[in-house]
Structure 1
């Protein structure tokens, strides 16, 4: 049977295979050793405490509104091909707000910046959710609109949370998009293969704001069966 999403589904299945199977060959994302410091030789790192909007906390399944979150931006110091990472982190969550890396750049990949941004303040294994607010990457939006169109009874935009499970072709397609690939590559460069998996992908709009699409990737440990 042909893929419903030929532009994305095969890419997503490959990423899912590399994430979930430590024996799967050909993975192009080695574990990253890149780290950040406030006074970095190559990057300007801006880091401060922030509070999150109550609606955002609800969308993240975060109930502790008093938790202090960190805003962090990473910009290159030189005049080379542009690269930047802007987001927020908190206990168990990383929020990717704005990212860009020129194809001509020799800087670390966005997935490596994502790992470095979270571990700047929190232990890596505490991470449970990767959240992308206001998705505007063209490739990802095209996929999501097609997914919604092909799902019977679902219209885009939708005011309800849509949950996409790993066994579905929609999950594979979403993982094969520009945003999905960033999150998948981050998991692989952070933990390697066969350690963490994406338990589900959630897409939604908040209230009546139909112009902003949100994506949440829920992570969980992979429990390996003992070898016989």
Structure 2
């Protein structure tokens, strides 16, 4: 049977297979040993305590309103091909706010920076949700618009849409630029057959086209 979303669905199925099946072969994402410290030799690591706005926590269905979060910024110390990771970490949650890696870079992958950023303050196994706010990656937006249109959904919409692993739409979203980063993170953090992406949730805050959120929920296998 032909894929409903041929540009993305096959990639997503491969990623999901590598994540969920410990014996699936040819997985290109080994467990990462890369770690970060506040005074790293190669990277400038800035960490600042922040509190998330109560209205944002409500919109994201997060209950830990009194928790302290970290604003984390990771950039290179030298003039190598640029790479950066900017996000926020909190108990059980990580926000991937702004990331970039030059194709000429030989630094760790964005997925490895994501793992290292969370582990600086929290035990890795405590992570339950990965948020990607203000999604503007062209490949991902193109897929999302096609998914919403094919399902007869209004875009943008403040109504949450939940995509389960059994759906073509889930595989398509996992095969996008954003989905690949999160899938690669799961694999480089835990390896195959340990954690699964239980669902992908997409929504706009206040139907603002510039505030598209993607949430990836993680569960033990």
**What's the TM-score bracket when you normalise by the shorter of the two chains?**
over 0.9
Which residue is equivalent to 2:212? Answer: 213
Count of residues in correspondence between the two structures: 221
Match of 1:108? 108
- Residue 117 of structure 2 corresponds to 117
Q: Are 2:11 and 1:11 aligned?
A: yes
Deviation per CA, 1:190-220: give whole Å up to 9, x if none: 0000000001000001124232110000000
More displaced, 61-70 or 5-14? 61-70
Look up the match of 2:158.
159
**Match for residue 37 of structure 2?**
37
Q: Any idea what the Cα deviations from partners look like across 1:76-121, whole Å, max 9, x if unmatched?
A: 0010100000000000000000000001101000000000000000
Unpaired segments ≥5 residues, structure 1? 223-228
Whole-angstrom distance in 2 between the partners of 1:35 and 1:165: 32
Q: SS of the counterpart of 2:108?
A: coil
The match for 1:130 is 130
- Worse-matched range after superposition: 24-33 or 50-59: 50-59
- Does the residue aligned with 2:19 lie in a helix, a strand or coil? helix
Contact 2:8–2:172, Cα closer than 8 Å, also in 1? yes
Q: Measure how far apart 1:64 and its partner are.
A: 2.4
* Residue equivalent to 1:226: none
Find the aligned partners of 2:95 and 2:195 in 1 and give their Cα distance: 18
In the alignment, the residues of structure 2 paired with residue 58 and residue 219 of structure 1 have an alpha-carbon distance, to the nearest angstrom, of 20
Provide the secondary structure at the position in 1 that maps to 2:107. Answer: coil
Contact 1:42 1:76 in 2 (8 A): yes
- 1:20 correspondence with 2:20: yes
Q: Please give the alpha-carbon distance, in whole angstroms, between the structure 1 residues aligned to 2:54 and 2:202.
A: 18
**Equivalent residues of 2:156, 2:208 under 8 A apart:** no
CA distance in 2, matches of 1:92, 1:63: 11
Contact 1:88 1:94 in 2 (8 A): yes
SS class of match (2:206): coil
What is the distance in 2 between the residues matched to 1:137 and 1:55? Answer: 25
For the 8 Å contact 1:60–1:131, the answer to whether it is kept is: no
Equivalent in the alignment of 1:225: none
Please list the CA deviations of residues 23-49 of structure 1 after superposition, one character each: whole Å capped at 9, or x if unmatched.
100000000000001111000000010
| 1:65-144 aligned within 5 A | 65-144=65-144
TM-score normalised by structure 2 residue count: 0.98
